[in-house]
Amino acid sequence: TCSLLRSPKGFPKLKNDTFLRAARGEETEYTPVWCMRQAGRYLPEFRETRASQDFFATCQSPKLCCELTLQPLRRFPLDAAIIFSDILVVPQALGMEVVMVSGKGPVFTEPLKEVEDLLKLRQKVDVTAELGYVFQAITLTRHTLEGKVPLIGFSGAPWTLMSYMIEGGGSTTMAKAKSWLYRHPEASHRLLRLLADVIIDYLVGQVAAGAQALQVFESHAGHLGPELFQDFALPYIRDIAQAVKSKLKEEALPLVPMIIFAKDAHYALRDLAHAGYEVVGLDWTIRPQEARAQTGKDVTLQGNLDPCALYAPKEKIGELVKKMLDSFGTQRYIANLGHGLYPDMNPEHVGAFVEAVHAHSRHINKH
C-alpha cells in the first residue's frame, strides 16, 4: 500500500521495461500499451477514492495520488503507470488560484486579463517548495510499484497552460488567449518563458524523485495554426526538451525518454519529430502511415486509437487494434488512445484494448 514517505533512492528493480525500450527505439517482443487518463473516473474504485475530497487536495496528497496511480495497474496488464496529478498545478505554483467545479471543470478565480496582471505571478518559483507534493507522490509511487512497470511524470506545455490562465478555464475557441498572441506578442513571450522555466525545473525534479519517462501535454495545440504554433509553441517545446536533458546531465540524473503530445497539431508533426523528444504522441485524426512518413525513422510514435472506439463491442475493439498495429508496425511504437479515457467508459473495454494490443503485436512479431 501507499504509505511511508521514502527516499528517492534504492528503488526496486524494474521487471518490465518494454515501454522504455520502445520509447528509446529498441526492439520489443510485443507493443507496449498505456492509456492517457488511465487513472480516471471510469473506474469505480477511482470514484470511491476521490469521493470525499476536493480535486486539488487529492493532487496534494502523495498517498492518494499513489493509490489512484496504481488502481488501473491492479486491473489491467498496462506497460506503464502515469502519476496522478494535473497540468494546472504549474499555474498554482505561480500563485494563481484554481478550483475544480463539478460538472464544469477547472476554474481560475482571477484569470489574467491585462498585461499588468503578469506582475502578480511569482517571477521565481522554488519548485520543491511549491510542487514538492508531486515529487513525494512520484517517489512513494515508484517504491510502491515494486518495479512492476515504469512510472511516467508529466507537465502541460507553456501555450496550453497560458491558454487556461487567460481563459480562466476551458474554452471552445481560446479567443481570449489567442488575442494576447496577436495583441501582446511580447507579453505573451514573457509569460511563455516564465512557464517554460518552471516546467523545466518541475520535470527535472520529477526525474530526481523517480519518474522514468516524461510526457509534455500541448493539449491546446489545435487552436493554433501553423504560424502561431511556430512562433508561440514550438520554440518552448524544443527548449524544454533541450534544457531538461542538459540539467539531467549536469545533476547526474538518468536521461529519461521524453514524449511530446501536441493534440490536433498534425501540421507540425515534422517539426515535433525534430524537437528533441524520443516519442511523438498522436491524436486519432491522423493516419498512422502518414504520421510515420512525416516523422521519419528516428522517433517512436505513440497513439492513436480514437477513445470513442472503446464504446464499440469488444470484438470490434480487437479488429480496430489489429488494424492500428498493422498500420504502425509493432516496433518503435507505443499503443495508446488518441486522447484520454472518458468517465462513462466500461473498464472491461479498456481491458479488451490492452489485451488486444499485447495479443496482436505478439502474433505479428511471430509471423
DSSP state of 86: -
Domain assignment present for residue 20? The answer is: no
Question: What is the number of H-type helices and E-type strands within the chain?
Answer: 15, 9
**Same domain? 186 vs 312:** no
Distance of alpha carbon 312 from alpha carbon 186, whole angstroms? 47
Given the residues 42, 50, 236, 283, the one annotated as active site:
50
∠302-201-193 over CA atoms, to 5°? 85
Whole-angstrom Cα distance, residue 355 to residue 347?
12
Strand partners, 258: 214
Same domain, 68 and 208: yes
Q: Which of 17, 30, 37, 238 is catalytic?
A: 37
42 located within any domain: yes
Q: Please check whether residues 254 and 313 belong to one and the same domain.
A: no
Q: Would residue 346 count as lying in a domain?
A: yes
For the question of residue 86 being annotated catalytic, the response is yes
Q: Rounded to whole angstroms, what are the CA distances from 84 to 104, 119, 142, 225, 253?
A: 20, 31, 12, 31, 22
Whether residues 97 and 60 share a domain: the answer is: yes
Domain boundary among the residues 249, 281, 313 is at 281
Domain carrying residue 64: 36-281
- Does 88 reside within a domain? yes
Binning the chain into helix, strand and coil, the percentages to the nearest 5 are 50, 10, 35
283 is an active site residue: no
Domain shared by 85 and 184, yes or no:
yes
Where among 213, 247, 281 does a domain terminate? 281
The verdict on whether 344 is a catalytic residue reads: no
164 is catalytic: yes
7 within some domain: no
**Do residue 218 and residue 316 come from a single domain?**
no
Do both 316 and 275 map to the same domain?
A: no
By three-state DSSP, how is residue 108 classified? strand
Catalytic residue among 24, 41, 193, 362: 41
Residues 105 and 221 in one domain: yes
What total number of domains does the chain contain? 2
Pairing of strands 98-101, 105-108: antiparallel
Whether residue 354 sits in one domain with residue 260: no
Domain membership flag for residue 18: no
Active site residue 30: no
DSSP letter, residue 60: T
Q: What are phi and psi of 263, to 5 degrees?
A: -65, 135
**288 located within any domain:** no
pTM for the structure as a whole = 0.98
- Kindly give the interhelix angle for 175-183 and 185-209, rounded to the nearest 10 degrees: 120
Q: What are the C-alpha distances in Å from 26 to residues 7, 174, 278, 320? A: 30, 39, 11, 25
Q: Are residues 218 and 333 in the same domain?
A: no
List the chain pLDDT tens, one digit each, 367 residues: 787 777 888 999 999 999 999 999 999 999 999 999 999 999 999 999 999 899 999 999 999 999 999 999 999 999 999 999 999 999 999 999 999 998 899 999 999 999 999 999 999 999 999 999 999 999 999 999 999 999 999 999 999 999 999 999 999 999 999 999 999 999 999 999 999 999 999 999 999 999 999 999 999 999 999 999 999 999 999 999 999 999 999 999 999 999 999 999 999 999 999 999 999 999 999 999 999 999 999 999 999 999 999 999 999 999 999 999 999 999 999 999 999 999 999 999 999 999 999 999 999 999 9
Catalytic residue among 75, 86, 193, 342: 86
DSSP H or E segment with residue 311: none
Q: CA 262, CA 198: separation in Å to the nearest integer? A: 19
- What CATH number is given to the structural domain containing 184? 3.20.20.210
Domain-embedded: residue 337: yes
Q: Which of 246, 265, 281 is the last residue before a domain boundary?
A: 281
Residue 347: what residue type?
P
Which residue is catalytic, options 30, 42, 164, 236? 164
